[in-house]
Amino acid sequence: MKRISESKSTLTEIMLPCQANPSGKVHGGEIMKLMDTCAGVAAMRHAKKNAVTVRVDEMVFYEPILVGELVICEAQLVFVGKTSMEIEVTVKVENLMSESPPRLALKAYFTFVALDKDGKPCEVPRLLLETEAEKKIFAQREQKYLQRKQRERELEG
Protein backbone atom coordinates (compact mmCIF):
# COMPACT_ATOMS: atom_id res chain seq x y z
CA MET A 1 0.00 0.00 0.00
CA LYS A 2 1.10 3.53 -0.71
CA ARG A 3 0.04 6.91 0.56
CA ILE A 4 -1.42 9.38 -1.93
CA SER A 5 1.22 11.90 -0.86
CA GLU A 6 4.02 9.57 -2.04
CA SER A 7 3.14 10.01 -5.70
CA LYS A 8 1.89 13.59 -5.97
CA SER A 9 3.36 15.52 -8.87
CA THR A 10 3.57 19.21 -9.77
CA LEU A 11 4.69 20.79 -13.05
CA THR A 12 4.91 24.52 -13.73
CA GLU A 13 5.47 26.30 -17.02
CA ILE A 14 5.22 29.85 -18.34
CA MET A 15 2.93 30.02 -21.37
CA LEU A 16 4.63 31.40 -24.50
CA PRO A 17 3.25 32.85 -27.74
CA CYS A 18 4.04 29.65 -29.66
CA GLN A 19 1.52 27.84 -27.42
CA ALA A 20 -1.35 30.19 -28.17
CA ASN A 21 -3.77 31.29 -30.85
CA PRO A 22 -3.67 34.82 -32.36
CA SER A 23 -5.80 36.22 -29.53
CA GLY A 24 -3.19 35.18 -26.93
CA LYS A 25 -5.19 32.33 -25.42
CA VAL A 26 -3.26 29.10 -24.92
CA HIS A 27 -4.41 26.09 -26.97
CA GLY A 28 -6.28 23.49 -24.93
CA GLY A 29 -4.08 20.76 -26.37
CA GLU A 30 -0.98 22.41 -24.89
CA ILE A 31 -2.55 22.28 -21.44
CA MET A 32 -3.78 18.72 -21.95
CA LYS A 33 -0.22 17.63 -22.77
CA LEU A 34 1.09 19.18 -19.54
CA MET A 35 -1.70 17.48 -17.60
CA ASP A 36 -0.94 14.12 -19.20
CA THR A 37 2.76 14.46 -18.35
CA CYS A 38 2.04 15.45 -14.76
CA ALA A 39 -0.44 12.57 -14.35
CA GLY A 40 2.08 10.17 -15.89
CA VAL A 41 4.71 11.14 -13.33
CA ALA A 42 2.25 10.49 -10.49
CA ALA A 43 1.28 7.12 -12.01
CA MET A 44 4.89 6.00 -12.43
CA ARG A 45 5.80 7.18 -8.93
CA HIS A 46 2.99 5.05 -7.55
CA ALA A 47 3.52 1.93 -9.67
CA LYS A 48 7.31 2.16 -9.98
CA LYS A 49 6.72 0.94 -13.54
CA ASN A 50 6.02 2.42 -16.93
CA ALA A 51 2.43 3.63 -17.20
CA VAL A 52 0.34 4.71 -20.17
CA THR A 53 -2.75 6.89 -20.55
CA VAL A 54 -5.91 4.96 -21.36
CA ARG A 55 -8.65 7.47 -20.59
CA VAL A 56 -9.36 11.11 -19.83
CA ASP A 57 -12.63 11.99 -18.09
CA GLU A 58 -14.48 15.12 -17.14
CA MET A 59 -12.07 17.66 -18.57
CA VAL A 60 -13.62 21.02 -17.86
CA PHE A 61 -12.03 24.35 -18.82
CA TYR A 62 -13.27 26.99 -16.38
CA GLU A 63 -11.47 29.93 -17.98
CA PRO A 64 -8.87 30.71 -20.64
CA ILE A 65 -5.14 30.69 -19.99
CA LEU A 66 -3.19 33.59 -21.45
CA VAL A 67 0.32 34.00 -22.84
CA GLY A 68 2.69 35.02 -20.04
CA GLU A 69 0.77 33.28 -17.28
CA LEU A 70 2.29 30.57 -15.09
CA VAL A 71 0.51 27.24 -15.34
CA ILE A 72 0.66 25.12 -12.19
CA CYS A 73 -0.37 21.53 -12.89
CA GLU A 74 -0.92 19.24 -9.90
CA ALA A 75 -1.67 15.51 -10.02
CA GLN A 76 -2.59 12.99 -7.34
CA LEU A 77 -3.99 9.48 -7.33
CA VAL A 78 -7.61 9.23 -6.24
CA PHE A 79 -8.44 5.60 -7.10
CA VAL A 80 -6.62 2.41 -8.03
CA GLY A 81 -7.95 -0.82 -9.45
CA LYS A 82 -5.94 -3.95 -10.13
CA THR A 83 -3.75 -2.49 -12.92
CA SER A 84 -5.23 0.97 -13.38
CA MET A 85 -4.75 4.23 -11.54
CA GLU A 86 -7.04 7.24 -11.70
CA ILE A 87 -5.35 10.57 -11.21
CA GLU A 88 -7.03 13.88 -10.51
CA VAL A 89 -5.25 16.69 -12.31
CA THR A 90 -5.91 20.33 -11.54
CA VAL A 91 -4.49 23.31 -13.36
CA LYS A 92 -4.12 26.65 -11.64
CA VAL A 93 -2.99 29.80 -13.38
CA GLU A 94 -1.00 32.64 -11.87
CA ASN A 95 -0.37 36.09 -13.26
CA LEU A 96 3.17 36.70 -12.03
CA MET A 97 2.80 40.48 -12.48
CA SER A 98 -0.09 40.81 -10.02
CA GLU A 99 -0.80 40.13 -6.37
CA SER A 100 -3.81 37.96 -7.27
CA PRO A 101 -3.65 34.36 -6.02
CA PRO A 102 -3.56 31.50 -8.54
CA ARG A 103 -6.99 30.68 -9.98
CA LEU A 104 -8.43 27.32 -11.00
CA ALA A 105 -8.41 27.02 -14.80
CA LEU A 106 -9.37 23.39 -15.35
CA LYS A 107 -9.60 19.92 -13.91
CA ALA A 108 -9.77 16.37 -15.26
CA TYR A 109 -9.31 12.72 -14.33
CA PHE A 110 -6.71 10.64 -16.18
CA THR A 111 -6.62 6.85 -16.06
CA PHE A 112 -3.27 5.14 -16.50
CA VAL A 113 -2.40 1.45 -16.67
CA ALA A 114 0.91 0.15 -15.36
CA LEU A 115 2.91 -2.05 -17.73
CA ASP A 116 5.43 -4.78 -16.99
CA LYS A 117 8.72 -5.20 -18.88
CA ASP A 118 6.85 -7.00 -21.68
CA GLY A 119 4.33 -4.18 -22.10
CA LYS A 120 1.50 -6.11 -20.44
CA PRO A 121 -0.77 -4.62 -17.75
CA CYS A 122 0.46 -5.42 -14.24
CA GLU A 123 -0.80 -4.95 -10.71
CA VAL A 124 -0.28 -1.69 -8.86
CA PRO A 125 -0.07 -1.04 -5.12
CA ARG A 126 -3.33 -0.22 -3.37
CA LEU A 127 -3.87 3.23 -1.88
CA LEU A 128 -3.56 3.87 1.82
CA LEU A 129 -6.41 6.31 2.47
CA GLU A 130 -5.55 8.50 5.44
CA THR A 131 -8.14 11.28 5.50
CA GLU A 132 -11.90 11.50 5.19
CA ALA A 133 -11.44 13.57 2.01
CA GLU A 134 -9.26 10.83 0.47
CA LYS A 135 -11.82 8.17 1.41
CA LYS A 136 -14.69 10.23 -0.02
CA ILE A 137 -13.10 10.87 -3.42
CA PHE A 138 -11.88 7.26 -3.62
CA ALA A 139 -15.48 6.05 -3.10
CA GLN A 140 -16.80 8.50 -5.71
CA ARG A 141 -14.22 7.51 -8.30
CA GLU A 142 -14.65 3.81 -7.51
CA GLN A 143 -18.37 4.18 -8.23
CA LYS A 144 -17.58 5.83 -11.60
CA TYR A 145 -15.11 3.02 -12.34
CA LEU A 146 -17.72 0.34 -11.60
CA GLN A 147 -20.33 2.14 -13.72
CA ARG A 148 -17.89 2.29 -16.67
CA LYS A 149 -17.10 -1.42 -16.29
CA GLN A 150 -20.82 -2.24 -16.26
CA ARG A 151 -21.42 -0.18 -19.43
CA GLU A 152 -18.48 -1.90 -21.13
CA ARG A 153 -19.92 -5.34 -20.25
CA GLU A 154 -23.33 -4.30 -21.60
CA LEU A 155 -21.80 -3.08 -24.87
CA GLU A 156 -19.88 -6.33 -25.30
CA GLY A 157 -23.22 -8.15 -25.15
**Domain spans of the chain?**
2-156
Buried b / exposed e over 70-101, threshold 16 CB at 10 Å, is ebbbbbbbbbbbebbbbbbbbbbbbeeeeeee
Q: Is 40 left (phi over 0), alpha (psi -120 to 50) or beta?
A: alpha
pLDDT over 90 at 157, yes or no: no
User: Could you tell me how far CA 20 lies from the centroid of its own chain?
Assistant: 22
pLDDT, averaged across the chain: 96
Q: What is the mean pLDDT of residues 44-67?
A: 95
At 144, the pLDDT band (50, 70, 90 cuts) reads very high
In what helix (H) or strand (E) does residue 34 lie, and over which residues does it extend? helix 28-47
Task: Tell the CATH superfamily of the 2-156 domain.
Answer: Hotdog Thioesterase (3.10.129.10)
For residues 10-23, average pLDDT: 96
User: Hey, CA dihedral for 110, 31, 60, 106, is it positive or negative?
Assistant: positive
Is pLDDT at 153 greater than 90 in this prediction?
Answer: no
- Strand, helix or coil at 136? helix
pTM: 0.93
